[in-house]
Amino acid sequence: MPFDVDGPVTMVVVSEVRGGHSPRQGGENLEHVRTLADTDSGLPPIIVRRDDMRVVDGMHRLRAARMRGDERIAVRFFDGGDDEAFVLAVRTNVTHGLPLSLADRKAAATRIMASHAHWSDRMIAKVAGLSAATVARIRRERPGPAPDVRLGHDGKLRPVNSLERRRVARAILLTEPDLSLREVARRAGISPETARTVRKRLTEAGPTPSPDPATLVIRLRNDPTLRFSETGRTLLRLLDARSVPPEKWAEIAANVPPHWRDTVARMAVECADTWRTFAETLLTPRTKAG
């Protein structure tokens, strides 16, 4: 777990310690402070950021020490920035002491999501004391930076949308079956082993007959996301030519005037190059603006 504090305990003058940025939206619980102040035993060490002496964890204990007139308090020092200090404050308040409320934990997850957008849902959930499903829902409701990969609790980086990347790899393998696994992995943004798995499943599934171009164009025309957008309608018009049967192309070629055949051939090659570039764009994993 990040930002652990296991350094030596130091006795510090109470007046030198300052209040911190607590994850508790409602502030400290006075009843809990009084309960701590009434105990005869010493208070467990609090965590204080070294550079400004602000409390990271232990505001209730600090207030209890002041309430009962203690001159010194046990401290473990933490070295880190504001965001790291907040993460540590949330984690420690989830695992011991007076638990954070559900509202506090959700608010904390939202803040951590903003400062550590590359963390996985499970990692944030572990820190904030929530389920991964709850964190995922908060992330959907409050869109923010969206890196291509996220850091898991095990320290490994994983693609944000592995399913989409596997689909990209599948499409690449279908169009270029002889491509090396390393190149497929590079284009799709996956590991070579994942590319190997995709190829194996394609091989096990066997050849899948593709619908004829005319049928595919009809299906595309029935999709409202294409039919009701300007770019979609442009694409459909361009794809109309793809639905022309081979015998029709042969008839068209036979009737091109001799003095235009070279020009039309060059234009056809340029069109083919444009379509290939378009296809490669579609097969490249998209990155979201952060």
Q: pLDDT category, 162, cuts 50, 70, 90? A: low
CA distances from 266 to 7, 26, 81, 272 (A): 73, 72, 61, 10
Same domain, 21 and 70: yes
The answer as to whether 227 is a domain residue is no
This model's pTM is above 0.85 = no
Question: CB count, 10 Å around CB of 239?
Answer: 15
Whole-number mean pLDDT of the chain?
82
Residues 52 and 102 in one domain: yes
Q: Are residues 111 and 200 in the same domain?
A: no
> Do 125 and 53 share a structural domain?
yes
Q: Which residue among 205, 231, 261 closes a domain? A: 205
Tell me, what's the pLDDT at 158?
Answer: 62
151 lies in some domain? yes
pLDDT category of residue 145 using cuts at 50, 70 and 90 = low
Between 102 and 95, whose confidence is greater?
102
Q: What pLDDT score was predicted for residue 41?
A: 78
What percent of the chain lies above the pLDDT cut of 70?
84
Asked which of 172, 205, 238 is the last residue of a domain, the reply is 205
Q: What distance in Å separates the CA atoms of residue 157 and residue 290, rounded to the nearest whole number?
A: 18
Is residue 287, in this structure, part of any structural domain at all?
Answer: no
Q: Residue 2's pLDDT is what?
A: 53
Question: What is the per-residue pLDDT across 235-271, written as a single tens digit (0 to 9) for each?
Answer: 888 888 767 777 788 888 889 898 898 888 888 888 8
Domain co-membership, 139 together with 105: yes
Say yes or no: 132 and 151 in one domain.
yes
pLDDT surpasses 90 at 71:
yes
Q: What are 281's two structure tokens?
A: 């764009």
Q: Is residue 81 part of a domain?
A: yes
Q: Please report the sign of the dihedral spanned by the C-alpha atoms of residue 83, residue 85, residue 90, residue 91.
A: positive
With respect to residue 130, please indicate whether it lies within any of the assigned structural domains: yes
Query: Is pLDDT of 280 > 80?
Result: no
Within a domain: residue 211? no
Q: What is the pLDDT of residues 191-200, one digit of tens each?
A: 788 889 889 8
Taking Cα atoms as reference points, which of 169, 164, 176 lies closest to residue 192? Answer: 169
Spatial strand order in the sheet of 10-13:
10-13, 72-78, 46-49, 55-57
* 18-22, 208-212, 233-237, 279-283: least confidently modelled range: 208-212
**Residue range 22-39: mean pLDDT, rounded:** 87
Q: What is the pLDDT of residue 148?
A: 58
Whether residue 107 contacts residue 23, with contact meaning beta carbons closer than 8 Å, is answered with yes
What value does the mean pLDDT take over residues 54-63? 92
Please report the DSSP string for the chain in residue order: --S------EEEEGGG-B----S-TT---HHHHHHHHT-SSPPPPEEEETTT-BEEE-HHHHHHHHHTT-SEEEEEEE---HHHHHHHHHHHHHHSSSPPPHHHHHHHHHHHHHH-TTB-HHHHHHHHT--HHHHHHHHHHS-----SEEE-TTS-EEETTHHHHHHHHHHHHHH-TTS-HHHHHHHHTS-HHHHHHHHHHHHHH---PPPPHHHHHHHHHT-HHHHTSHHHHHHHHHHHGGGS-HHHHHHHHHTS-GGGHHHHHHHHHHHHHHHHHHHHHHHSPP----
Are 160 and 120 in contact by the 8 Å Cβ rule? The answer is no
Domain housing 141: 10-158
User: Can you give the pLDDT at residue 55?
Assistant: 93
Indicate whether 112 and 198 sit together in one domain. no
Determine the Cα–Cα distance for residues 32 and 100; give it in Å rounded to an integer: 13
Q: Is the pLDDT of residue 288 over 50?
A: no
Same domain, 143 and 27: yes
User: Is 141's pLDDT higher than 70?
Assistant: yes
Report pLDDT for 289. 41
**CB within 8 A of 245, min separation 6: which ones?**
214
Shared domain for 70 and 194, answered yes or no, is: no
Looking at the fold, whether 119 and 143 belong to one and the same domain comes out as yes
What is the phi/psi pair of residue 80, to 5°?
175, 175
Smallest CA-to-CA distance from 109 within 145, 80, 136 is with 136
Last residue of a domain, one of 99, 126, 158: 158
**166-190 residue pLDDT tens:** 777 888 888 788 889 988 888 777 7
Mean pLDDT value of segment 39-49: 87
Mark whether 115 and 183 lie in a shared domain.
no
Query: Distance (Å, rounded) from C-alpha 41 to C-alpha 37?
Result: 10
**Does residue 239 fall inside a structural domain?**
no
The whole-number pLDDT of residue 211 equals: 62
In the chain, the number of structural domains is: 2
Q: How far apart are CA 52 and CA 85, in angstroms?
A: 12
- Do residue 120 and residue 184 come from a single domain? no
Q: Count of CB atoms within 10 A of residue 66's CB? A: 15
